[in-house]
Structure 1
Amino acid sequence: MSSSLIDVHAHLLPDFYVQQATAAGHAHPDGMGGWPSWSVQAHLDLMDRNGIETAMLSMSSPGVHFGDDKAARLLARRVNEYTAERTRDHPGRFGNLVSLPLPDVDGALEEIAFSFDELGADGVALMTHTHGVYLGDRRLDPVFAELDRRRAVVFLHPTSPVCWEQSALGRPRPMVEYIFDTARTVTDLVMAGVLTRHPNMRVIVPHCGGAIPVLADRINEFMSLFLPAQQPPGPDAVQQLRALYYDMAGTAFPRQVPVLLQLVDPDRVLFGSDYCWTPAPLADAHIAAIDAAEPPTQDTTWRSLTTANAKRVFPRTTR
């Protein structure tokens, strides 16, 4: 293989987490049939088979907050310490995008301090919302101020939207609800001014941006119609969206990446496998499709391009 991959969208699933989430009512998480199996060795096998050098591990939906702040703080800490242990056990193979017990702001600030100062976290993973608190909510501003101060990587991950009982029509929410909840929270970040107030965060949007690439001009138009003009003028919605990073997890080809490249330059695209929620045979097939796809420029491959981009986002872990 021409270049090793760096996987910015990779999930771990420890047994203790599955037990707690199931006890909290998530036996069929986000409408899926059940929990996938995961182990360190199976993950390393997938990585070795596909030429993935480093996987940045994060927790997927439904996150760590099941309704009780204290329990969420304890679960976030346990997950983050467990992931940090795996990164120490396998130097250079794993990174740690830590979970925060949002919407508990005090608990989240405590966990940011512990994770970055004690665990050497590589960034944070934030659900698109927690119990209806989307990421543009002013209550979360102290969290973004601290992440901005630390120049943190902020990896976004979708979860079932607040209205899923009506909107999902009985189908698994990852199919389309994830895509629209990603667009919903990114639009909220833009419209609420979070990205302009906190410009030092490096934000990764999953799944080729969800629905964002085809909605960018529409969001921009509504922003100019309904938000007061800034003096001096700040970046518009399209400029803000172009400054984010986007991973290729899921069905990147043949249609999603070409649409994404209508919005962003190739230096904003990162590789993501979405393993273990994407089963290994599908992850293998998605990676084969990326390797077979025509790269955006003649002198590169998707492997070398996304790896170079990831090394700029995660210089410490990927050196």
Structure 2
Amino acid sequence: MTTGRIDLHQHLVPREYTEAFASAGIGHALPGWSPSGALAMMDEHAIATGVLSLSTPGTHFGDDAAARRLTEQVNDIQAELVKDRPDRFGMFATLPLPDVDGALAAIAHAYDDLRADGVILLANHRGTYLGDPAFDPVMAELDRRGALVLVHPADLPGPAVPGVAAAIADFLLDTTRAAINLVLHGAPSRYPNVRMVLSHAGGFLPYAAHRIANLIGANDLVTPQAGLEPGLNQETVLEGLRGFWFDTALSGSPTALPGLLAFARPGHVVFGSDWPFAPTAGVGYFTAGLDAYPGIDAAGHAAIDRGNAEALLPRLSS
């Protein structure tokens, strides 16, 4: 029997991407990464398999053609890693959004040629949030394929607080915004075959879900716009928000876990490390917090560590 955690939130940073990122002049450094480094981290923290994904800002730096080329290059690199070690690595393919046609081509390549385990979508792609009707063709294709999707935050489409990195707080809001927008536009009901995992325990969502649902359902606080789900009320918004899965990346703490476990549906919490953007010491801190949390029994730990992810990715089942 295979044991060990399945990590649904682990990143790769291949040299080819680092070079393209630097050429784009984005302005901040990327962490070091190698397959051997990933395996060492995984062995240290009892992770059997890491499902790799490219973090923000993805592959689209402003030019559609360049984004398509970089997307194919990164996805091909991931696929080779999985081909060499299918027991240790999995693959969330990246898409060159907001280029919808390029994204559809990347989905076809990822599933038909590379046998991807799923895809990663940023909460917002250059200012357009998931749930926006502009992305409906992509969502429809992912639904047709029964896709597993990791939703990862990006920089907010607005000015940052000087000196406060986006990862400290903005990322949490970005994920929360995307979840709300998806529910407002009826994505969970229109695309029922897409299973979405929200990064970092869903950002602020578990903590604020009842506030969000009440204000949407009981007050006229949503600006009328095309594509909104009709008949939203507090109950339907809550049910929509609870339909997501949530990973534990950077969230195995005595304050985050109670809210997450109180809100998430049974079976909807999965393990995540966020390595290498979370350094190995940080992975250890939050993993130890998860392991020590008294509100989870042995069966619950087994489900979060592995069982719930196996249900989403049967190829990794023992």
- Assess, with a 3 A threshold, how the Cα gap between structure 1 residues 219 and 264 changes in structure 2: closer, same or farther: same
CA distance, structure 2, for counterparts of residue 232 and residue 20 of structure 1: 43
Preserved CA contact (<8 Å) 2:71 2:96: yes
- Structure 1 position 17 matched with structure 2 position 17: yes
How many residue pairs match? The answer is 310
**Which stretch has the larger CA shift, 56-65 or 235-244?**
235-244
Alpha-carbon distance, 1:230 to partner: 4.5
CA distance, structure 2, for counterparts of residue 56 and residue 252 of structure 1: 19
- Structure 1 position 88 matched with structure 2 position 87: no
Task: Report the residue type matching 2:252 in the other structure.
Answer: A
1:63 paired residue number: 58
- Structure 1 position 73 matched with structure 2 position 68: yes
Alpha-carbon distance, 1:87 to partner: 0.5
**1:172 is paired with a residue of what secondary structure?**
coil
Task: Report the residue type matching 1:125 in the other structure.
Answer: I
Preserved CA contact (<8 Å) 2:200 2:249: yes
Q: Which contiguous aligned blocks of 4+ residues in structure 1 show a shift greater than 3 angstroms? A: 225-235, 303-306
**Which stretch has the larger CA shift, 241-250 or 226-235?**
226-235
1:189 paired residue number: 182
CA distance, structure 2, for counterparts of residue 275 and residue 318 of structure 1: 23
Cα deviation code 1:9-41 (max 9, x no counterpart): 00000011011111112231xxxxx22100000
CA distance, structure 2, for counterparts of residue 76 and residue 237 of structure 1: 34
- Structure 1 position 115 matched with structure 2 position 110: yes
Give 1:33-182 correspondences, 5 Å limit. Answer: 34-163=29-158, 165=159, 167-182=160-175
- Aligned CA RMSD, in angstroms, stands at 2.0
- Assess, with a 3 A threshold, how the Cα gap between structure 1 residues 180 and 232 changes in structure 2: closer, same or farther: closer
Cα deviation code 1:291-319 (max 9, x no counterpart): 222243x4525244431100001112444
CA distance, structure 2, for counterparts of residue 317 and residue 118 of structure 1: 19
CA distance, structure 2, for counterparts of residue 270 and residue 43 of structure 1: 19
1:251 paired residue number: 251
1:309 paired residue number: 308
Alpha-carbon distance, 1:213 to partner: 1.0
CA distance, structure 1, for counterparts of residue 3 and residue 266 of structure 2: 17
Preserved CA contact (<8 Å) 1:18 1:35: yes
Q: Give 5+ residue unaligned stretches, structure 1.
A: 29-33
- Structure 1 position 207 matched with structure 2 position 200: yes
**1:142 is paired with a residue of what secondary structure?**
helix
Preserved CA contact (<8 Å) 1:156 1:206: yes
2:270 paired residue number: 270
Preserved CA contact (<8 Å) 1:134 1:188: yes
1:31 paired residue number: none
**1:18 is paired with a residue of what secondary structure?**
helix
1:8 paired residue number: 8
Preserved CA contact (<8 Å) 2:213 2:233: no
| TM-score in terms of structure 1 length | 0.92
Preserved CA contact (<8 Å) 2:252 2:287: no
Preserved CA contact (<8 Å) 1:3 1:303: no
Alpha-carbon distance, 1:260 to partner: 1.0
- Assess, with a 3 A threshold, how the Cα gap between structure 1 residues 240 and 19 changes in structure 2: closer, same or farther: same
Task: Report the residue type matching 1:98 in the other structure.
Answer: A
CA distance, structure 1, for counterparts of residue 277 and residue 84 of structure 2: 23
CA distance, structure 1, for counterparts of residue 34 and residue 86 of structure 2: 17
Preserved CA contact (<8 Å) 2:186 2:229: no
In percent, how many aligned pairs have the same letter? Answer: 38
Preserved CA contact (<8 Å) 2:148 2:312: yes
**Which stretch has the larger CA shift, 228-237 or 154-163?**
228-237
**1:213 is paired with a residue of what secondary structure?**
helix
2:225 paired residue number: none
CA distance, structure 1, for counterparts of residue 14 and residue 59 of structure 2: 12
